[in-house]
Amino acid sequence: MCGILAVLGCIDNSQAKRSRIIELSRRLRHRGPDWSGLHCYQDCYLAHQRLAIIDPTSGDQPLYNEDKTIIVTVNGEIYNHEELRDKLKDSHTFRTGSDCEVIAHLYEEYGEDFVDMLDGMFSFVLLDTRDKSFIAARDAIGITPLYMGWGLDGSVWFASEMKALSDDCERFMSFLPGHIYSSKTGDLRRWYNPVWYSEQIPSAPYDPLVLRNAFEKAVDKRLMTDVPFGVLLSGGLDSSLVAAVASRHMAKVEGAAKWGSKLKTFCIGLKGSPDLKAAREVAKYLDTEHYEFHFTVQEGLDALEEVIYHIETYDVTTIRASTPMFLMSRKIKSLGVKMVLSGEGSDEIFGGYLYFHKAPNKEEFHQELCRKIKALHLYDCLRANKSTSAWGLEARVPFLDKEFINVAMSIDPGWKMVRPDQGRIEKWILRYAFDDEEKPYLPKHILYRQKEQFSDGVGYSWIDGLKDHANEQVTDAMLANANFVYPENTPSTKEAYYYRTIFEKFFPKNAARSTVPGGPSVACSTAKAVEWDAAWSNNLDPSGRAALGVHVASYNDSSEGKVATTLETSPQKLEVEKTAVTV
């Protein structure tokens, strides 16, 4: 990850203004500790803090076209940059080996309509000095963060994190994923327009081999790196699949072998936590170079203020999960690793959250998936990116690969629904796609391990410790008057109130609090979940504990036995079995 800051159309272009831009850009240096760059053209500034992953020696930013009339500052990775270079090589000259340089040349060749050609995660700002126009764009799902703001002098601002513009902009907002802003029209438009985005119910048949191949390609392309890398391994289904596929592909990827013959994997938790145990088992099975980190509840509590400053939200679930990830990222960076693969996005694509057990039909199931994916930039993407970038570590998320999403979201959602009568638990179609009898990716009990919330998986006493600490900091009277102190997005629990007070200390403007999703932060008790089962409305806790009844029942009812029996004893081949189960 890198940090970008662009200020366009300032009235003041003095040396003092330049110094201020440098000072603000420096707030993003944790995202890019390797080098700093600044380009000034009249009243426009493009600043960059670089984390060197591809072409560390010559890829410093901002980047340019041949005559430097087009300047671009980019945060992200363009996985198909070599393919795009081949298209441009006859008419364009490249100065660096950076994957991001293609953006300047693509714009020169195709104008503003090139963004959909990019395969990767990215946020960028591009200045065309020929007519002094500019564009800004964000990747399809919002894996990389981007904020947009407006100054009192009429200037337009863009930054990777809110902290770089919140003091100088009167109004700012989270830049929408899959959108592009053009100064020529003065508005945002959506460039990402897949069929699933309209929430139209898909009807493609489920082919496990097609799904498996799409995911393997998504992992494969994310092994593009010139620096040491690894995988965040919790021992759950998603991270274990990422590690299993990466381990298989590692020897095939040019340049990967120089970082060692074994894949590095990392896990964190309180001593004795479920994740540590499961990750240890997966790492042993895959024969990875495994690193296990421990933290205490007190160490997590001590880090809370710094975590909230970096992740820029007061959402309860996000803070709970970000804290151990933040602590782990520091440990990983100390080992010299600069890039990791992570498993975010699977639950949103396949309905892995336990309240999906209650979905009444495939139409509502699919519509809820679409809503969850569209909100990822406010939750899991934000957490994964900012928790790791706080220590100059880049997180790549293969489940959010654009082509993989298109494949997975085109499948008839009836295949994704929980069907205990047919031995299907949540995310069954993903599990089944990797259930290879001849060359197993994972042990059966790991492949069919039920979901554990990350904030619970690191140790069940972690959330209890957070709640106890918040109860000591927030009185009953404070919570009773919360609607007067925080009339917008009023916290409904002492834990939420405590996080809000920390957030407001760093980001006191109304624009800042408005970047966090509204209403009580209860991820598992969304309006849709309550609609599916009124019992959800009685639980204000936003973690997977709100689904405890579902979780326990799924482990203990006869469906688990049916799943285990069917999958472990069936003599049929995968190609035959895939036609035997009805939607």
β-pair type (339-341, 229-232): parallel
Specify the amino acid at residue 552: V
Contact assessment for residue 122 and residue 158, using Cβ atoms and an 8 Å cutoff: no
How distant is the alpha carbon of residue 384 from its chain centre? 5
Cβ contacts of 328 within 8 Å, gap of 6 or more: 232, 266, 267, 268, 293
Q: What φ, ψ does residue 171 adopt, rounded to 5°? A: -135, 135
Does the annotation place 335 within a ligand binding site? no
CB neighbours (10 Å) of residue 506? 15
CB neighbours (10 Å) of residue 492? 17
What are the residue numbers of the active site? 2
Contact assessment for residue 384 and residue 342, using Cβ atoms and an 8 Å cutoff: yes
How distant is the alpha carbon of residue 547 from its chain centre? 23
Tokens found for residue 298: 């007190």
Does the annotation place 461 within a ligand binding site? no
Contact assessment for residue 187 and residue 181, using Cβ atoms and an 8 Å cutoff: yes
Beta partners for residue 8, in sequence order: 44, 156
CA–CA separation, 321 vs 104, rounded Å? 37
Closest CA to 77 of 1, 131, 8, 14: 1
Helix axes 461-473, 297-311, angle to 10 degrees: 70
Does the annotation place 268 within a ligand binding site? yes
Cβ contacts of 471 within 8 Å, gap of 6 or more: 494
3-state secondary structure of 73: strand
Does the annotation place 343 within a ligand binding site? yes
Tokens found for residue 27: 């707030």
Does the annotation place 113 within a ligand binding site? no
Closest CA to 502 of 354, 309, 328, 368: 309
Binding residue ranges for L-glutamine:
99
Binding residue ranges for ATP:
232, 268, 342-343
Binding residue ranges:
99, 232, 268, 342-343
